[in-house]
Amino acid sequence: MILGFDPGRDKCGLAVMGSDLQLHDHQVVVATEAIASILSLLQKFPIATLVMGDRTTSKQWQKQLKEVLPASIPIFTVDEHNSTLEARDLYWQMYPPKGLTKLLPQGLREPPRPIDDLVAILLIKRHLKATNRRES
């Protein structure tokens, strides 16, 4: 299983996905609770890899993660370019709009909650896609 991590200053996104793209968990956590949440997910799931975004505070988070993660779990960074825009689209795929909201063009709809967890899902998918390209 792969743990996706969208690092941030105030909040972080987490997602756990199998290599079969089955989603097992996703959540947005306060940045100060991110490490504890990651350690909790490591106890719940057989995570073999951590994939994280390469932008906001990435270097600091990598350093912290290397201190607490088992050495057997590699950390890969993934390009986060346009991931927030893609996550907005993913939100509306996962949670189709209801009522008057569905009358608005998708580009004008704002998800009603933080979507950092959906960014984490996209980071996992980008990592898997890059890995599959390398293996082909």
Average pLDDT estimate for 30-42: 97
pLDDT of residue 135: 66
All residues at 6 or more sequence positions from 88 whose CB lies less than 8 Å from its CB, including other chains: 109, 111, 115
Average pLDDT estimate for 62-91: 93
Listed residue (90, 15, 89, 5) closest to 55, CA to CA: 5
Statement: residue 127 has pLDDT above 90: yes
Structural domain for 57, as ranges = 2-135
Report the CATH number that the domain containing residue 126 is assigned in CATH.
3.30.420.140
- The residue ranges of DSSP E strands in the chain, in sequence order, are 2-6, 11-17, 23-30, 49-53, 75-78
pLDDT of residue 87: 95
SS3 content of the chain, % helix, strand, coil (to 5): 50, 20, 30
pLDDT of residue 46: 96
Give the pLDDT band (50/70/90) at residue 33. very high
pLDDT tens-digit series, residues 77-121: 999 998 988 999 999 999 999 888 888 888 888 999 999 999 999
Statement: residue 132 has pLDDT above 70: yes
Listed residue (29, 27, 25, 37) closest to 11, CA to CA: 29
Q: What is the mean pLDDT of the chain?
A: 92
Structural domain count, the chain:
1
pLDDT of residue 136: 57
Average pLDDT estimate for 71-80: 94
pLDDT of residue 100: 85
pTM for the predicted model, two decimal places: 0.92
